[in-house]
Amino acid sequence: MPKLPVISGQEAARVLERAGFDRLNRKQRGKGSHLLLVRHDPTKLITIPDHRELAPGTLRAIIRQADLSVDRFVELLRG
């Protein structure tokens, strides 16, 4: 299993978009410092803090909520 990368909330959101999630725009989500992503089949809503660097536990929880493995997440991150 690859080491968990150190990335920002924006980078994590881009990876999840590659995995089939859609980002909700500001009008749909309201104010705040979090990014909301949704997948419709099966329905899943994920909240990502918009920080410069995500804590390892937070990133691991986001990956788990998205039903991805760390290997798959890193693969999507690299392109």
Q: Using CA atoms, how far apart are residues 79 and 68, in angstroms rounded to an integer? A: 15
Domain regions of the chain by residue span? 9-78
Q: What is the mean pLDDT of the chain?
A: 91
- Mean pLDDT within 5-16: 96
Cβ pair 65, 7 in contact under 8 A = no
Calculate what percentage of the chain has a pLDDT beyond 70. Answer: 91
Q: Is the pLDDT of residue 41 over 90?
A: no
> Could you tell me the CATH superfamily of domain 9-78?
Hypothetical protein. (3.30.920.30)
Q: Is the pLDDT of residue 30 over 90?
A: no
Long-range contacts (CB closer than 8 Å, 24 or more residues apart) made by 21-30: 21/46, 21/66
Q: Is the pLDDT of residue 39 over 70?
A: yes
Question: What length does the chain have?
Answer: 79
